[in-house]
Amino acid sequence: MSKEAFKSFVKKKPILAQHVKNNNTTWQQLYELFALYGENSSVWDEYLKEPTPNRLSNSFTDIINTIKGIDLDKIQNGIDSIQNTISLIQNFGSNNRVNNNTNNYEPRYRYHHMDD
């Protein structure tokens, strides 16, 4: 069997891609089955039946996988960066308030002649 025939078979049966995505099988294994038995064999029955969704366990598994993928060092660096930015903004705001209060200086004339 050709690769093109296998590709068109997989396009007709998108659930096969889901099996590969869920690590239930590999593309190589599916291709070997296709090459040995063809597309009309009963070996495909186990792959083509719709799985019964178990939403709770799938959700829990998704949450666990998401938590495993979190890099805590990157999160800590992001939090530190945000804190530094907030501190910088607060310092900038407090410096402006101090500068506004001390800005009452009125220049005096240096060479003012007194009319006697």
Name the residue range of residue 81's domain.
Answer: 71-100
Query: In this structure, what is the dihedral angle of CA atoms 88, 90, 91, 97, given to the nearest 10 degrees?
Result: 150
> Angle between the 27-37 and 3-12 helix axes, to the nearest 10 degrees?
110
Least confident of 11-25, 37-51, 69-83, 94-108: 94-108
| Rounded distance between C-alpha atoms, residue 58 and residue 22, angstroms | 11
Whether residues 49 and 88 share a domain: the answer is no
Where does the pLDDT of residue 116 fall: very low under 50, low under 70, confident under 90, or very high at 90 and above? low
**Beta-carbon-side half-sphere exposure of residue 67 (alpha carbons within 13 Å):** 6
Q: Is residue 27 part of a domain?
A: yes
| Closest to 48 (Cα-Cα) out of 71, 67, 25, 68 | 25
Q: Is residue 15 part of a domain?
A: yes
Whether residues 36 and 8 share a domain: the answer is yes
pLDDT score, position 68: 83
With a threshold of 0.75, does the pTM exceed it? Answer: no
Whether residues 43 and 81 share a domain: the answer is no
| Rounded distance between C-alpha atoms, residue 101 and residue 103, angstroms | 6
Whether residues 50 and 90 share a domain: the answer is no
